[in-house]
Every structure is written in structure tokens, then in C-alpha cells.
Structure 1
């Protein structure tokens, strides 16, 4: 997620360098949650299973090697994707930038981790828009 202007003062001035150290130094260019490599084209299935060319096998959405290959029906939903790593705050506290507070995650893992926060924000946005409608348009019809 891009840094919002009102939150920019929470991040240190050397955030780009710190982010690079976390993503490529500590994590070695791979997602710390599922192991997807940064910037490489990978084959994915709908449920998050992906093919790891280095290991020569399929991995689950959490990065574990699968014992059996996916069936033919699952392979019909194959798509190609390029994971991009981002440095993320584990506890959503942007003022804490220690090594243990940051993680290198791909877009998928980052969205999964942030899902409760996104649901909360979506609800607030919905309520805010509804309140504006009440304020300017009057009560909503009962139908």
C-alpha cells in the first residue's frame, strides 16, 4: 500500500533503504510468508497454489511443498503472475520500525494479512457515505 501523506511522518527518512534491507537482505528476495520470489514469473492456481521452479514442485498458498501435484481440473485455472515484495508492518503500527516489526510479503500475503483492516475501513467509508446521504438527501425510503 502506498504511504498516505498524513502517515508519512511516522516513517523514518531512510525508509527506502530500510525496506530494501528487509526485502532483499533478510528475506533474500522471497516472501517471508509463502516464499514467492520477487519479480519472477510464476504459475499460480486459483486457491493460491503455485509452482516453485527452484524446488521443482508445487507449493501451497502458505509456501509448503505439496506431496501430490494438482489434478488436471485444477491445472485448467492456471495463470501467470509476477509477485512484488513490499515491506509491511506486522502489527499495523507505523511508528514501530524495528527488525521484528517489519516483514517482506508479496501482494497476496499482504492483502490476506490486512483483510480485517480493509473490512473495517470499508465499513467506515460506507457509513460515512450513508451519513452524507442522510444529511443532504433526507432519510432513505423504506422500500
Structure 2
């Protein structure tokens, strides 16, 4: 997955080399997901870089996911070579949480008041 320009400083300078090493040497061009994404792969995901995804049929572009969602943490055990499907499914809950915080911060910055429903009960 491409890194957004505003997030590039969150990754180490040698991220392209680290990512390439994980995808090609360790994973040998195959998704390493064994259910991290919530799908039952019956072992390891069968998606291979450049081939049609066995689930979606779209061309696989192997990516590298950070299991703890921290781009600076490039320890091998925190990285997972993943097809787009597995990567997006794994990151989904984190993306929803981040988006909700971003929306709330934007509303607060615009002067929007919030109601604490728990305090009113």
C-alpha cells in the first residue's frame, strides 16, 4: 500500500529495502497471513504477488503490514507480508478507530460541542 506523503516521516528511511526484503526473501512473494485478517485460510493465505487473488480475483500486490500499527517498529516479528485483502481486513478496525478520532478532533476544532450520554444517565 502506498505511504501517504504526510505519513512518510513515520517510516524509517530504509523502509523500501525492509519491505522488499520481507516480501521477497522471507515471504517468497506469498501472503504470510494465517488468519490475522479474520479469514480462515486453512493454513496460510494462497495469494501470490502478481497473480490473481484466490478470493477476489484481483491482481495481488504484496504489501507489508505492521502488526502493532506502528510504522517505526520494523522488527521482523512485527511485519507481515500480506495481500491487499488480508492487509485491509487486518487494518480495518484500526482505520475505523483512527478515522473516528480524526472526525471528533475536526468537530472539536470547529467548535462542535459533544454530549456525554453516560453522564446524563
**Shared fold (TM-score, shorter chain, > 0.5):** yes
What value does the CA root-mean-square deviation take over the aligned residues? Answer: 2.3
1:12 — aligned with what? 12
Q: Give 1:107 shift.
A: 0.8
How far off is 1:101 after superposition? Answer: 1.3
1:95 aligns with 2:72: yes
Of 122-131 and 93-102, deviating more is: 122-131
Confirm or deny that 1:41 pairs with 2:18.
no
Deviation at 1:118, TM superposition (A): 1.3
Note the C-alpha offset of 1:121.
2.2
Structure 2: give runs of 5+ residues left out of the alignment: 34-44, 114-121
Deviation of 1:42 after TM superposition, in Å, equals 4.1
Q: Which has the higher strand share?
A: 1
Partners in 2 of 1:114 and 1:80 — Cα distance?
Answer: 21
The structure with more radius of gyration: 1
- Classify 1:80/1:3 alpha carbon distance in 2 versus 1 (closer, same or farther; 3 Å): closer
Q: Which runs of 5+ in 1 are unaligned?
A: 45-78, 136-143
Q: How far apart are residue 6 of structure 1 and its match?
A: 4.4
Matched with 1:111 is: 88
The 5-angstrom pairing of residues 23-102 of structure 1 reads 23-33=23-33, 34-44=45-55, 80-102=57-79
Mapped to 2, the partners of 1:2 and 1:10 lie a distance apart of 13
Secondary structure class of the residue paired with 1:80: coil
CA distance change for structure 1 residues 108 and 42 in 2, over 3 Å: closer, same or farther? closer
Aligned residues: 101
Rounded to whole Å, the distance in 1 between the matches of 2:105 and 2:14 is 35
